[in-house]
Amino acid sequence: MNRISRRALLQGGAAFACTRFIRDASGAETPRIQAPEVDSLSIQVVTDGAHDIFISGAQVPGVTIERVRGFAGPRVNRALKSEWGLSLWLSSTRGAEEKRLLLDFGWTGETIGNNLDLLGLDPATLDALVVSHGHYDHFGGLEGFLAKYRARMKPEITLYLGGEDAFCQRVLPAGNGAFASFGRLDRSLLAAARVTPVLSEDPLVIEGHAFTTGAVPRVSQERVLPNSFVVFGQQDGAGCDTARYASHHFTPAELAGQPMPDQHLHEHATCYHVKGRGLVVITSCGHGGILNTLRRARAVTGVQKVHALVGGFHLAPATPDYLNRVLAELKEQDVDYLFPMHCSGPNFLEAAKRDMPQALVLCTTGSRFLFRT
């Protein structure tokens, strides 16, 4: 596994060990991958913050939109559930080949299990799993998902993560200097379920269809807005192993387990290159910045056209000035469509309606978006 220093990540001047490199104007090296082209990509929202039973489809050139209106399923006592978190079912085709990924798992196993069943999505057909970052609202449903479905899934299944940082303990301020647990992803859970974790801070191609951005250098005006705190080190055999960070420098306070503002060192985006359309970039939360993530996806592929930016944009806690500055720069990025979910925030929705109405597509639990040539 290749590693990047925290200082280089935050300064955007990192060098990665990879098969092929490109060098930008500042002299920094960036790994280059050959992003596979897919003929089509379907993104179905398994879990998001709300399900609007009255939402209608939209006329979006190049994108087919399907909504789950009313109540899903044959029984009136069952309906789609929504919660704080995100889970996306990704299905892509190349010729006659189809690949299916599940990106993130929402907060609870109950919700993801209920929704997968009602939407008719069969985990037995999954080719791989992805966790975007180590926040409970993105991996919390994993344990229940595996308990319910693992026995009928493929014997060999891989979980892709951005790096060791995904296993750190996260905590939230509880007042008076105290902290409350925000959970941690446990390796023992994966081992017991026979799920193989693949950690990479560099971009990776997944199943010959998708690719990850790897760690996202901070090269724009964006910064990580307030969210969780992180605890480095291991407790009771779980947590993140600082020795696995290799070139990362940790302060004595960090090594002592003092909670620090979370920089999401290895949060990654999952992306596709749709033939004839361009990149579809799925940020999940995008703590490192949506502009930074777009630049990273372009840099590692050499593909400049971004057809869609999808997922959580983590702008809900943004001040009006910060939001407006990010949106102004986003307008210059030649992105065809925006699909804001989860933590993007009602403030972002209102600003996008004002400044980029032609690009904005509303999202809700159950909705399916089909991109194709």
In a domain, 1, yes or no: no
Yes or no: say if 107 and 354 are a contact pair by the CB < 8 Å rule.
Answer: no
pTM of the model: 0.92
Look up residue 292 and give its two tokens.
């930074």
CATH code for position 227: 3.60.15.10
Look up residue 269 and give its two tokens.
């985006």
- At residue 204, does pLDDT exceed 50? yes
Yes or no: say if 114 and 147 are a contact pair by the CB < 8 Å rule.
Answer: no
53-57, 225-229, 288-292, 299-303: segment of lowest average pLDDT: 53-57
In a domain, 53, yes or no: yes
In a domain, 366, yes or no: yes
List pLDDT tens digits, range 221-264.
999 999 999 999 998 889 999 988 756 788 999 999 999 999 99
pLDDT at 249: 80
- CB atoms closer than 10 angstroms to residue 67: 18
Confidence of residue 30 (pLDDT cuts 50, 70, 90): confident
Residue 48: closest CA among 105, 129, 113: 105
Yes or no: say if 217 and 292 are a contact pair by the CB < 8 Å rule.
Answer: yes
* Side-chain-side CA neighbours of residue 93 (13 Å): 9
Cα–Cα dist 179/170, whole Å: 10
Q: How many residues does the chain have?
A: 373
Yes or no: say if 282 and 86 are a contact pair by the CB < 8 Å rule.
Answer: no
Cα–Cα dist 205/223, whole Å: 27
pLDDT at 102: 99
Cα–Cα dist 373/284, whole Å: 24
- At residue 3, does pLDDT exceed 50? no
pLDDT at 126: 98
List pLDDT tens digits, range 352-369.
999 999 999 999 999 999
Yes or no: say if 116 and 88 are a contact pair by the CB < 8 Å rule.
Answer: no
Mean pLDDT of the 41-60 span: 92
Cα–Cα dist 197/100, whole Å: 17
Residue corresponding to tokens 């290159």? 273
Confidence of residue 22 (pLDDT cuts 50, 70, 90): low
Mean pLDDT of the 201-208 span: 95
Mean pLDDT of the 55-64 span: 88
Confidence of residue 351 (pLDDT cuts 50, 70, 90): very high
Residue corresponding to tokens 């002299």? 27
Cα–Cα dist 314/312, whole Å: 6
Structural domain of 183? 6-372
Confidence of residue 13 (pLDDT cuts 50, 70, 90): very low
Q: Which helix (H) or strand (E) holds 330?
A: helix 320-330
In a domain, 157, yes or no: yes
- At residue 155, does pLDDT exceed 60? yes
Cα–Cα dist 121/321, whole Å: 41
Residue 373: closest CA among 40, 44, 65: 40
Cα–Cα dist 129/195, whole Å: 9
Q: Which helix (H) or strand (E) holds 45?
A: strand 40-47
pLDDT at 9: 44
Mean pLDDT of the 101-111 span: 98
Terminal Cα distance for the chain, rounded = 34
Structural domain count, the chain? 1
Yes or no: say if 216 and 4 are a contact pair by the CB < 8 Å rule.
Answer: no
In a domain, 196, yes or no: yes
Cα–Cα dist 14/248, whole Å: 12
- At residue 46, does pLDDT exceed 90? yes
- At residue 6, does pLDDT exceed 90? no
Residue 104: closest CA among 227, 225, 231, 270: 270
pLDDT at 347: 98
